[in-house]
Copies of this chain bind each other. A is one copy, B any other.
């Protein structure tokens, strides 16, 4: 099968995208590290928990929402637990499971960190986009996300050896 290379437009888009997200992630990480002592992902963990009912989530659910591997999450949660920002509890219904719970201290840290974070996201992303572009951004990445793990098994070859298999994730019983 002969390769369908990228068109010039696609190449330009691809390069702009890669450059942009690297710089943006880098900036966000640096800001959060500086002001909250943790990288972006760790902040997202706290943020996710803070919005969950009772501020608690199963590890697998959390990993699923964050789009990261469980092993990565384990490491991060261990660190945050050491810092006292969350604690682990065992799952009542499924003794295999464990649940991460945001502590009050975690909530405080999150609240303190949020303004600076939002300010950064604004300054370097949203303040530079028109409302239409905000919509386009959502649209584009929603499609990407769906393609990568939303249920549409039609369009994507199922048998690529290197694809991550998405475990069907269970919520509360």
Contact = CB atoms under 8 A, between A and B. Distances in A.
Q: How many copies does the complex hold?
A: 2
Given A124-B144, A128-B147, A148-B27, A18 B44 contact: yes
Nearest to A21: B21
Interface in A6-58: 6, 9-10, 12-14, 16-27, 30-31, 33-35, 44
Nearest to A152: B128
B124 A33 contact: no
Contact of A163 (B22, B27, B138): B27
Given A14-B121, A137-B17, A126 B6 contact: yes
Contacts of A124: 144, 147-148, 156
Interface residues of A, number: 68
Interface stretch (A75-83, A87-95, A111-119): A111-119
A139 B31 CA distance: 25
A164 interface: yes
Given A30-B162, A137-B13, A163-B27, A4 B144 contact: no
A169 interface: no
Nearest to A13: B138
A118 B164 contact: no
Contacts of A145: 16, 19-20, 23
List the 7 closest A-B pairs by CB distance, nearest first.
A20-B141, A34-B162, A13-B138, A20-B144, A16-B141, A3-B115, A23-B148
